Amino acid sequence: MRKRMEEERTKYKETVKRVNETASNSLQAGLIPIFEALENFTSETLQAYEHVRWDPQRKEPMHTDQKQCNWAFNKNAAKLSPEPLLHANQHI
């Protein structure tokens, strides 16, 4: 009886170990694309931000390439939200 109980306990521990390993591997595999998308978004947003200059005299941003800034903003915003996109000159 005791031997059988030890065998069952060993099986249980091995099963729990396998389940934990499988769950951990699945979670890691699932997070990779999320972090890749976050990295791409950050890079593209930084590139768009670099196209914007701030002139304290004017109290508004000056864009070195307005079309490029709008494109980058809308491209990144589309990844985050299914809502309609606003143009840079529209106000919320």
* pTM exceeds cut of 0.95: no
Top-confidence residue, 91 or 12: 12
Report in angstroms the alpha-carbon separations of 28 from 25, 34, 69. 5, 10, 34
pLDDT value, residue 79: 54
Convert the pLDDT of each residue in 30-70 to its tens digit.
889 999 999 999 999 988 887 776 656 655 555 555 555 55
